Structure 1
Amino acid sequence: MTGPHFPPGSCNGKIISAKYFSAGAQASATFNASVDILSPYDADGHGSHVSSIAAGNADVPVIVNGFCYGRASGMAPRARIAVYKAIYPSVGTLADVVAAIDQAVQDGVDIISLSIGPSKPTEDTLTFLSIFDITLLFARKAGVFVAQAAGNSGPLSSTVVSFSPWSVGVAACNTDRRYLASIILGNGTMVDGVGLSGPTFGNGTVYHKLVVAKDALKTNGTFPRTSEYIEECQHPEAFDPTKVFGSVIICNFSEGFLNGFSTLSNIIDTAKALKFEGFILTANPSYGDYIAELIPFAISGTLIPSVADSEVIMQYYEKQTKRDENGTVTEFGAWASTGEGRVASFKGRSPVVSRFSSRGPDIIDANRSLADVLKPDILAPGHQIWGAWSPISAKLPMLTGHNFALLSGTSMAAPHVAGIAALIKQHNPSWTPSMIASAITTTSSKYDNLGDPMMAEGYEPHSLHRSTPFEYGAGIVNPSRAIDPGLVLSTDYVDFISFLCSLPNIEANIITTATGEPCKSPFDHPSNLNLPSVTISALKGSIYVRRTVMNVGNSTETYLGSVLAPNGTTVNLNPTWFTISPQGTQDLDIQINVVRPMEDFHFGEIVLTGSMDHIVRITLSVVPVST
């Protein structure tokens, strides 16, 4: 399909199909013609970003504001992309999204990457039976692998919006890449911050006058005396131009930033208008440390998200600044320079589950009743990820004119897994979506690059705690191992129907209405769905579940099973060892017994170690309760 900004020829061999869906959006809202463009063209940037992560070309130079940050590649750089635009900068509807998914399935795509979806469960139906999730079930029936963003409502529990076992919900983590920007004070003290910008004049070796925003205000100004005018550098009309020209200005993270009204973009505009040499955005003790999002600045700028570091700067400033009895500055004596912030270092702990990444446990309805499905499924990089960008940038004016952006979100994590799924599909063309999903999850790791158990960010900025499967799913994705997993656990469409029919207190006619399928053979318990994990939200006494594995290797292999039982349980595995030929299958009977009631989920795993070095991990998540 063609249209504004998308003429014939836009499908170029990399993009092999492009369509837009707008009937729902146009029926529900008035379009803004400048950004709600009726063509496949991306006026926002989000779609371009996630597409390039999944399947962007290899070795592309990332140039922003004239600086090359390095070279980037998509996860599957030789894959083809089909574009289905269903969300507009001003409006988006479920009807258009469902239409786009249906069209993608009809067109025969192998993988769907979904960085869009519901923000909360549907009020009047089970999470698994919403129109959106049933649409994804039908995509799975058609043989399409679906990678879905887990959501950005962490670190609260049960905030995942990828609910169903037939889609792969992807959580987000950091990488070991860091962008550090330092401030050198006039007394030689160096304070580390972050900021994707170049140094002040002199390449950080020349000092410039340091001025706090509130000390540079017009003495006879008529502007409101609110924090956004006084502290946050949002309004150039509030400043005395002679006091800020050529200086490094200290702005303060205050109420406006906390509430989302104040922006870095406004600081940049103020700095450009009044010709700041640079700016520093310091943390406010009244609000604590803040989360610093990295955006390329066209002028020198450094973010100091730590209150302790900010206080070091302010103590130096006050010591060097002379004031009269009214507190008015009579002499600015503080100096500073800022260093290069655009060069990456690779020394950090990773992966660490990102604070924003939505958490499990999975829920079955709007009342937050627990589901017997592990969510999220897998963890992938989603913090500070470079990707392509649309220069119109309808909703992020600070990125207008840029062809690349550095963004964070589970939106960025999901296409990593989509691209990996494409690589696995290329290597194993006959594999079904469930086989690909199993390979990705059972070969993942629960340890970071330092060899420690994976950590997660908590409620307080920069605080870490030991992570759990409700934060990372099966673990951090390992593409090289997922290509050759040894064993896979496979599920078919009929298995998902049996799963739905076995949900507690479910009426068979509800399943038939939603799917068109009768409830012929429900499982004894929902946890008997042949997933590469076992989740039981309320275990009383004892339960038997079965998992069936298939050898997808080229040789006969012997596996030895071991079990780490969740606290409060014992777990018996039968058989404890087996030999399996290529394409052969093996049933594993798992008995889980309550030995001590617990108030919350506890975790363990089954590890199958093969004689040819394959290792298959099945995560266990159980709440043992009293009978």
Structure 2
Amino acid sequence: MESVVSVFPNGRRQLFTTRSWDFVGFPENAKRTTVESDIIIGMLDTGIWPESRSFDDSGYSPPPSKWKGTCETSKNFTCNNKIIGAKHYRSNGQELVGGDIPSPRDSEGHGSHTSSTAAGRVVSKASLFNLGLGRARGGVPSARIAVYKICWSDGCYDADILAAFDDAIADGVDIISLSVGGSFPLNYFEDSIAIGAFHSMKNGILTSNAAGNSGPAAASITNFSPWSLSVAASVIDRKFVTNVQLGNNKVYEGVSVNTFQLKDTSYPLVYGGDVPNEAAGFDSSESRYCVYDSLDKTKVNGTIVVCDELNDGTTANDAGAIGTLMQDGGYKDYAFSFPLSASYVGTQDGTTIINYINTTRKPTATIQKSTEVIDKGAPYVVSFSSRGPNPITADILKPDISAPGVDIVAAWSEATTVTGEEGDTRVVPYNIISGTSMACPHATGAAAYVKSFNPSWSPAAIKSALMTTATLVSPKTNADAEFAYGSGQINPIKAATPGLLYDITEAEFVSFLCGQGYNTTTLRLVTSDNTTSCTKSNNATVWDLNYPSFTVSATSGQVTRIFHRTVTNVGNPISTYKATIIASPHQLSIQVKPTILSFKSLGQKLSFTVTVTAKIPKTIISGALIWDDGVFRVRSPIVAHSYA
């Protein structure tokens, strides 16, 4: 059919899984607008648990008049003046499994967690069994939430994602939050999320996307369209550790979110490789890793079992273990929950523990409840957060920004348990989980906060404000530099008054796409505008897209690129900005013309060029351009890399 933009399989996407707002410098008493309660955030996720205290509507007025959506009510779900709309999507017709509920009600927990992080109201004494105890709140606590349930226990399907985008746009949401993504990169118009985000941008709505959980591999980011906000996950200065005490009184520190209390009682300690389920055909080469059904239940029941690999704990739990210790060389910068008492230690401590088992007649151990410690290195981007560079358009920096995404306390569904694993009986109103899924709603909340002060700003303007005011993250703790954190960590208060904006219109995105090789026919289908045309004059290079960052790529050698940019004054009516360049002169030469921008009114636009000459490295080199008028510092990263 002529109206078809592109055809691709109805693929399946995956979910990318309190102190965080204070950590980014956004306190509860931050200045608020009187129209914050008119902001509507569209959450495309697993639904919501409406009874959570985070979504109580006490004191709320009816929904704003701009709201055009509906609530899909049923015997087990109703909306209120906080959750003003809700729908669920299941177009493939496949039977629901795993306890899924055919309504907007959340049976996974993920959607409730992201919704409360973005816009949950203030809740005192929120915690997971007193871990992370504090006041839970969203970035915009008085904003409204519209729920679009697109994800189920078997994933999130493209057809449902696109349908939800269409509905959210028609319903009148202000920001769309989507903590969902694929496993590999797709071209812009073969990607349902990029297509949906383009339509939302066209209608004045910014889409906030999780970068993905496939890091730290290079170019692992899967949500990277230039019209959406791509969010990486960083740690906050709180970390959960779980100590293990052996029968010889030696204590070893591991990581986990462990709510179980063994009350310092010691239990027999066994090594998984010594207790294989031989009756089922397993040997030590498998049981050492505690793979499914590989442990002998007779020998493991009532013990703490040591495994040579991080796992979900279900095998040990099924075998009747009291607890499990897991050891390997994996990253320890975030903590998992398990269905039984557990701790995850490094290989050095793991080897010592196994030696203790092998040299002790009756080895014993106990696992203590998790405690909170200060992570002095924060913020830094967590290992699992997907990295740049942009795998489709190498000269647009991705991710755009980072936000807290590790060990986040937020609302949870009481239709599931802490882990959702079989054998876990802990039903809780608040849970602690990690992922770029958790970072995304932090950026969503920040974007909504900026929108509440600047309701007429375009999606690109809001994105620019967040990027150019971001807090710098140290490259010393982030070896991948901007490929890990983009412009830096969100700073909502500064973003509300950024000074200057790099704005981008739909027409400019179309011109960029023409320059990327998309033809007139395809773009007219995407834009629904028959005047769209890829002419010679409407065929921009990637370096001319008015993006708030600058990127140069080449396979090797020295390369020069010229960038054309235009900034809009939203600071002081009369102001003079001077350009400051930060760069290593031996690797990166940056010239700006003119070096001074003098504004005489608000809304005035001035243009400049940036010429970047780079000796392309094996990985990445970076610098920055800062426009400074003495009040506002508008910072843009400049990156050169050789990724091909």
TM-score normalised by L of structure 1: 0.81
Whole-angstrom CA distance in 2 between matches of 1:523 and 1:236:
60
- 1:618 equivalent in structure 2: 636
Letter in 1 for 2:486: G
Counterpart of 1:397 in 2: which secondary structure? coil
Letter in 1 for 2:207: V
Letter in 2 for 1:386: V
| 1:175-186 map, 5 Å | 175-186=236-247
How far apart are 1:181 and its partner, in Å?
1.8
Q: Which moved more, 1:289-298 or 1:408-417?
A: 289-298
8 Å CA contact 1:236–1:270 kept in 2: the answer is no
2:405 is aligned, of 359, 377, 382, to 382
- 2:31 equivalent in structure 1: none
How far apart are 1:106 and its partner, in Å?
0.6
Letter in 2 for 1:354: V
2:391 corresponds to 1:363: yes
Whole-angstrom CA distance in 2 between matches of 1:233 and 1:164:
38
Q: Structure 1 34/239 Cα, relative in aligned 2: closer, same or farther at 3 Å? A: closer
- Runs of 5+ consecutive residues of structure 2 not aligned to the other structure: 1-70
Whole-angstrom CA distance in 2 between matches of 1:604 and 1:565:
4
How far apart are 1:558 and its partner, in Å?
2.4
| 1:466-481 map, 5 Å | 466-481=479-494
How far apart are 1:596 and its partner, in Å?
4.2
1:548 is aligned, of 566, 580, 584, to 566
Counterpart of 1:619 in 2: which secondary structure? strand
8 Å CA contact 1:544–1:589 kept in 2: the answer is no
- 1:462 equivalent in structure 2: none
Letter in 2 for 1:172: A
Write the deviation string for residues 430-465 of structure 1: whole angstroms up to 9, x where unpaired: 222211111100011233xxxx43523xxxxxxxxx
Whole-angstrom CA distance in 1 between matches of 2:440 and 2:131:
28
Q: Structure 1 298/92 Cα, relative in aligned 2: closer, same or farther at 3 Å? A: closer
How far apart are 1:149 and its partner, in Å?
0.9
How far apart are 1:170 and its partner, in Å?
0.6
Counterpart of 1:374 in 2: which secondary structure? coil
2:279 is aligned, of 195, 212, 222, to 222
Q: Structure 1 251/431 Cα, relative in aligned 2: closer, same or farther at 3 Å? A: same
Q: Structure 1 386/564 Cα, relative in aligned 2: closer, same or farther at 3 Å? A: same
Whole-angstrom CA distance in 1 between matches of 2:405 and 2:333:
15
- 1:267 equivalent in structure 2: 316
Letter in 2 for 1:430: S
| 1:65-464 map, 5 Å | 69-90=133-154, 92-122=156-186, 126-127=187-188, 130-197=191-258, 201=262, 203-204=263-264, 208-213=266-271, 222-227=279-284, 232=290, 238-240=296-298, 245=302, 249-254=304-309, 263-271=312-320, 276=322, 279-283=323-327, 288-289=329-330, 294-296=335-337, 301-321=341-361, 332=362, 334-341=363-370, 343-364=371-392, 370-393=393-416, 396-397=420-421, 401-447=427-473, 452-453=474-475, 455-456=477-478
Counterpart of 1:113 in 2: which secondary structure? strand
Q: Which has the larger radius of gyration?
A: 1
Counterpart of 2:351 in 1: which secondary structure? helix
Letter in 2 for 1:421: A
2:575 corresponds to 1:557: yes
Whole-angstrom CA distance in 2 between matches of 1:591 and 1:513:
34
Whole-angstrom CA distance in 2 between matches of 1:354 and 1:68:
19
8 Å CA contact 1:36–1:43 kept in 2: the answer is yes
Whole-angstrom CA distance in 1 between matches of 2:132 and 2:487:
36
How far apart are 1:298 and its partner, in Å?
6.7
8 Å CA contact 2:182–2:222 kept in 1: the answer is yes
- 2:122 equivalent in structure 1: 58
Whole-angstrom CA distance in 1 between matches of 2:476 and 2:273:
45
- 1:328 equivalent in structure 2: none
Counterpart of 2:475 in 1: which secondary structure? coil
8 Å CA contact 1:178–1:346 kept in 2: the answer is yes
- 1:537 equivalent in structure 2: 553
- 2:55 equivalent in structure 1: none
8 Å CA contact 2:314–2:339 kept in 1: the answer is no
Write the deviation string for residues 349-372 of structure 1: whole angstroms up to 9, x where unpaired: 1122122211111133xxxxx432
- 1:367 equivalent in structure 2: none
Q: Structure 1 215/591 Cα, relative in aligned 2: closer, same or farther at 3 Å? A: closer
Whole-angstrom CA distance in 2 between matches of 1:292 and 1:239:
32
Whole-angstrom CA distance in 2 between matches of 1:75 and 1:431:
19
Q: Structure 1 160/214 Cα, relative in aligned 2: closer, same or farther at 3 Å? A: closer
8 Å CA contact 2:213–2:384 kept in 1: the answer is yes
Whole-angstrom CA distance in 2 between matches of 1:293 and 1:576:
44
Letter in 1 for 2:306: C
Whole-angstrom CA distance in 1 between matches of 2:443 and 2:617:
34
Whole-angstrom CA distance in 2 between matches of 1:33 and 1:617:
48
How far apart are 1:39 and its partner, in Å?
1.6
Whole-angstrom CA distance in 1 between matches of 2:152 and 2:582:
48
2:620 corresponds to 1:607: no
How far apart are 1:472 and its partner, in Å?
0.9
- 1:500 equivalent in structure 2: 513
Write the deviation string for residues 26-84 of structure 1: whole angstroms up to 9, x where unpaired: 1xxx2126634332122222222211111112124334458774332122211110001
Q: Which moved more, 1:491-500 or 1:546-555?
A: 546-555
- 1:572 equivalent in structure 2: 591
How far apart are 1:522 and its partner, in Å?
2.1
- 2:542 equivalent in structure 1: 526
Q: What is the root-mean-square deviation of aligned Cα atoms in Å?
A: 3.2
How far apart are 1:229 and its partner, in Å?
5.1
Whole-angstrom CA distance in 1 between matches of 2:641 and 2:267:
60
Q: Structure 1 293/359 Cα, relative in aligned 2: closer, same or farther at 3 Å? A: closer
Whole-angstrom CA distance in 2 between matches of 1:170 and 1:564:
24
Report the count of equivalent residues: 562
- 2:72 equivalent in structure 1: 2
Letter in 2 for 1:282: M
How far apart are 1:318 and its partner, in Å?
3.2
Q: Which moved more, 1:534-543 or 1:150-159?
A: 534-543
Write the deviation string for residues 401-453 of structure 1: whole angstroms up to 9, x where unpaired: 33333222211111110011111111222222211111100011233xxxx43
Q: Structure 1 556/152 Cα, relative in aligned 2: closer, same or farther at 3 Å? A: same
2:523 corresponds to 1:482: no
8 Å CA contact 1:545–1:591 kept in 2: the answer is yes
How far apart are 1:115 and its partner, in Å?
1.0
Q: Structure 1 590/290 Cα, relative in aligned 2: closer, same or farther at 3 Å? A: closer
1:49 is aligned, of 113, 122, 125, to 113
- 2:7 equivalent in structure 1: none
